[in-house]
């Protein structure tokens, strides 16, 4: 018997009574989907799962990304998992040690941005290293009608170069990753394909609105990010080993906080579900 517990006012629910390393029944899968659409972020606690079991669980909910857009971040032998870690990898500082440090939605700088992500905590930071999430459906719904009308018409241009900390990584790999991911425009308001709800799609990785200058766009990008991340619209997750946290990238943004000692181990594995094609390459 599964039970749910709301995690915050704006979004987030913990689901109890599910073991992610076991095969899910159709009833369990449908139940999880329903709760996920209602709460946008779902949490399973005290899980034990090997990489292949995380992949198996994630594949119940959609097509798995092989992380070809960020090939240097893959877990060895498991391209369906991204290793997000402060531990050294192959004797070098990890390229993912500072992933996710500004508000974003995963793979928004690709033509087919992520529908959802599932992050398994192998080892949390000794203290801190939390992740914050905000609800982009509420962000849209709480804009005034005239502002909704303005954003309904816009396309946000996503630029991977605006990923916080990108240029602190291996510069040769960064250049290759930038070449793989040229700036992409997506509708600033997207309709969720399953719930039919409208959600704001903007982040700190948006350089401008398509057809507008950066100077014209910046005040509006800043306002929309400020509006979306008001404290009452945010859930802050404090990680424990064995947490599997799943978020819908079409209805949330998130940010990994750097409020911990980066010389300590924080080790996570992420499966990413592919979304629908919604972007086009731009050159303005």
Summarize as ranges the residues that interact with ligand SIN (CB under 6 A).
84, 99-100, 106, 117, 119, 131, 254, 256, 268, 270
Phi-psi sector, 193: left (phi>0), alpha (psi -120 to 50), beta: alpha
Q: What is the β-pairing status of strands 41-44 and 13-16?
A: parallel
Report the residue number whose CB is nearest to ligand SIN: 100
- For ligand SIN, the closer of residues 151 and 269 by Cβ is 269
- For ligand SIN, the closer of residues 100 and 279 by Cβ is 100
- For ligand SIN, the closer of residues 197 and 236 by Cβ is 236
User: Measured from the CB of residue 260, what is the shortest distance to ligand SIN in angstroms?
Assistant: 11
Contact assessment for residue 99 and residue 73, using Cβ atoms and an 8 Å cutoff? yes
The string over 102-113, giving b where at least 16 C-beta atoms fall within 10 Å of a residue's C-beta and e elsewhere, is ebbbbbbbbbbb
User: Measured from the CB of residue 284, what is the shortest distance to ligand SIN in angstroms?
Assistant: 27
Alpha-carbon dihedral 47, 256, 237, 31, rounded to 10 degrees: -60
User: Measured from the CB of residue 3, what is the shortest distance to ligand SIN in angstroms?
Assistant: 25
**Residue by residue, what is the 3-state secondary structure of 78-142?**
EEEEEEEECCCECCECCCCCCCCCCCECCCCCCCCCEEEEEEEEEECCCCCCCEEEEEHHHHHHC
User: Measured from the CB of residue 132, what is the shortest distance to ligand SIN in angstroms?
Assistant: 9
- For ligand SIN, the closer of residues 31 and 260 by Cβ is 260
User: Measured from the CB of residue 67, what is the shortest distance to ligand SIN in angstroms?
Assistant: 11
- For ligand SIN, the closer of residues 198 and 270 by Cβ is 270
């Amino acid at each position: 018997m599964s039970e749910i517990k709301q995690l915050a006012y704006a979004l987030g629910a913990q689901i109890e009574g599910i073991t992610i390393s076991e095969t899910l029944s159709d009833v369990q899968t449908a139940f999880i989907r329903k709760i996920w659409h209602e709460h946008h972020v779902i949490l399973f606690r005290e899980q034990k799962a090997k990489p292949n079991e995380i992949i198996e669980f994630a594949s119940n909910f959609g097509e798995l990304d092989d992380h070809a857009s960020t090939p240097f971040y893959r877990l060895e032998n498991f391209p369906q998992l991204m290793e997000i870690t402060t531990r050294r990898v192959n004797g070098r500082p990890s390229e993912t040690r500072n992933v996710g440090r500004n508000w974003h939605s995963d793979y928004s700088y690709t033509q087919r941005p992520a529908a959802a992500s599932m992050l398994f905590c192998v080892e949390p930071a000794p203290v801190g290293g939390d992740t914050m999430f905000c609800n982009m459906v509420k962000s849209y719904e709480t804009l005034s009608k005239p502002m909704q009308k303005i954003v309904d018409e816009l396309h946000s241009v996503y630029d991977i170069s605006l990923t916080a900390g990108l240029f602190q990584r291996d510069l040769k790999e960064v250049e290759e990753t930038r070449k793989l991911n040229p700036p992409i425009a997506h509708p600033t308001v997207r309709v969720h394909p399953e719930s039919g709800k409208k959600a704001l799609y903007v982040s700190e990785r948006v350089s401008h609105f398509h057809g507008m200058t950066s100077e014209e766009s910046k005040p509006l990008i800043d306002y929309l990010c400020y509006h979306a991340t008001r404290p009452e619209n945010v859930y802050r997750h404090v990680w424990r080993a064995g947490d599997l946290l799943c978020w819908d990238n079409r209805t949330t943004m998130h940010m990994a906080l750097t409020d911990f000692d980066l010389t300590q181990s924080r080790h996570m594995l992420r499966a990413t579900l592919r979304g629908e094609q919604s972007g086009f390459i731009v050159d303005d």
